[in-house]
Amino acid sequence: MKNYQDIEAKELSEKYAKVKDDFVWVDVRTDEEYDEGHIPGSIHIPHDQMEKRYHELTPYQGKKLMLICRSGRRSVLACNVLAEKGFSELYNMKGGMLEWTGPIE
């Protein structure tokens, strides 16, 4: 059973101004990838550190978490880790930053 919902990166990009405050944006890419450009205001926790650092997201439990990576694969892994830790409002940005056309910083 899937513990998250997929939302296409292209769709999110087009609606970003309207939906940016609906989600807590969590970027799970490497430090290098994140430093090259990320969605404004996103929280950075690399997916391979999620098991150890998921508690940093505890203040956002019950809010919609949008997990982001380069293509949408690592963000699924992060969604699964967070689901195991009791998070329920999980979303995967399908297509990842490869398909993101919205703002970056």
79 in catalytic set: no
Handedness of CA 94, 36, 104, 81 (dihedral sign): positive
CATH 3.40.250.10 assigned to 5-99: yes
Give per-residue pLDDT as tens, 63-103: 999 999 999 999 999 999 999 999 999 999 999 999 999 99
Torsion of CA 81, 38, 95, 100, to 10 degrees: 150
Residue-wise pLDDT tens digits, 2-15: 899 999 999 999 99
Tell me the Cα Rg of the chain: 12
Is the predicted pLDDT of residue 18 greater than 80, yes or no? yes
pLDDT of residue 2: 85
Give tens-digit pLDDT for 28-74.
999 999 999 999 999 999 999 999 999 999 999 999 999 999 999 99
User: Could you say which of 28, 57, 66, 69 is catalytic?
Assistant: 69
Which candidate, 57, 53, 58, 52, places its Cα nearest to that of 42? 57
The three-point CA angle 62-58-1 to 5° equals 55
Rounded to a whole number of angstroms, the distance between the first and last alpha carbons of the chain is: 35
